[in-house]
Amino acid sequence: MKVAILAGGLGSRISEETEIKPKPMVEIGGRPILWHIMKHYAHHGFDDFVIALGYKGEVIKRYMVEYASLHSDLTVSLRDGTVTRNGNGNGSEPENWSIDLIETGQDTATGGRIKRLAPHVGDGTFMLTWGDGVCNIDLHKLLAFHRAHGKLATLTAVRPPARFGHLELDGDRIGEFSEKPQIGEGWINGAFFVLEPAIFDYIDGDPTQWEREPLERLAHDGELMAYRHNDFWQCMDTIRDKKLLEELWQNGAPWRTWT
C-alpha cells in the first residue's frame, strides 16, 4: 500500500527555519520531521512512499539520495573518488523503504498536489498525511476502520493541545490552572487519511485546496468518515511547536513507536 506525504508547502509560519529548507526537513532530535513520520509508517509495515515535492524540493531529494551514505561508515578513495559503504554507522539496519519523489509544482495547492500523485499511488486504497505532524496512531486500526465502513475517505480526528494555559475561574479566583491541557471539546482534522482512488474525482486541479471543496463534497455525499484518535498528536506550525517537539523528543517522544 502506498503512503503519500505532502511535502511541498512554504511553511511561512515557521520561516525562521524554512528560508533554507522545506518544513518537512526541519529537524527534531537531529532528524527531519519527515523522517519521524516515515519511521512511524514503516514501523506498521507501510514503507512504500510517494512524496509530493514543491518548495525547495531539491533539499528533500538530496537528503534521500544521500541518506545511505550520511548514516553509514564510509571508505573514500581520493585517488578515483570511489566510495564504499561499510555498514550503518549507528549499528542499526538501514531503512528498507521505497520512495517516489514527485515534483508537484511550487504553487500547487494541497488538493492539486494530491491529484498529481494519482498516477503514482496505484488503483487501490492508499494512505495520505502531511509532512509536518506526528502522532502515535495505530495505523492498522485506522485501516481496519476504513475498510469496515466502506466509504471513500477516512480522516483522523484529534483533539489538539491547547496553546495557552487553561483557567477555571470562580469569580475572580482561579480555581484550576493547567498549562497544557487537551481541549475538552471539539475535534479537528489531524490528517493521517486512508483514501480510495475515487477521491481524485473530487479534485478539480492545481488550485484546489483539499481541505475545502473536496472534503466538503465528500462529507456532503456521505463518503467521509472520522477515526477518533484520543492519544498523542502534534503538528509543527511554529517555532513554539518545534521547541515543544524537541523537548518531547528528549523526554521519550510519545510518537516514537519504533525501537
* pLDDT for the residue 10: 84
Q: Is 145 helix (H, G, I), strand (E, B) or coil?
A: helix
* pLDDT for the residue 165: 64
DSSP 13: G
| Distances in whole angstroms, Cα of residue 55 to Cα of each of 5, 24, 100, 198 | 14, 10, 17, 27
User: How confident is the model over 82-88, as a mean pLDDT?
Assistant: 83
pLDDT > 70 fraction of the chain, expressed in percent and rounded:
90
Which of 77-91, 108-122, 170-184, 240-254 bottoms out in mean pLDDT, i.e. has the lowest?
170-184
Which of 7-11, 69-73, 140-144, 181-185 bottoms out in mean pLDDT, i.e. has the lowest?
181-185
User: How confident is the model over 41-59, as a mean pLDDT?
Assistant: 97
User: How confident is the model over 228-244, as a mean pLDDT?
Assistant: 94
Q: pLDDT tens digits, residue range 27-45?
A: 999 999 999 999 999 999 9
What is the CATH code of the structural domain delimited by 2-250?
A: 3.90.550.10
* pLDDT for the residue 16: 81
DSSP 150-162: --SEEEEEE-PBP
Which of 65-69, 74-78, 106-110, 146-150 bottoms out in mean pLDDT, i.e. has the lowest?
65-69
pLDDT > 90 fraction of the chain, expressed in percent and rounded:
74
Its pTM surpasses 0.85: yes
Q: pLDDT tens digits, residue range 166-225?
A: 667 777 666 666 655 555 557 899 999 999 999 999 999 999 999 999 999 999 999 999
Residue 187: burial class (beta carbons within 10 Å; 0-12, 13-18, 19+): middle
Identify the residue whose cell numbers are 484550576: 176
* pLDDT for the residue 180: 55
What's the grid cell of residue 9?
508547502
Polymer length of the chain: 259
User: How confident is the model over 9-27, as a mean pLDDT?
Assistant: 88
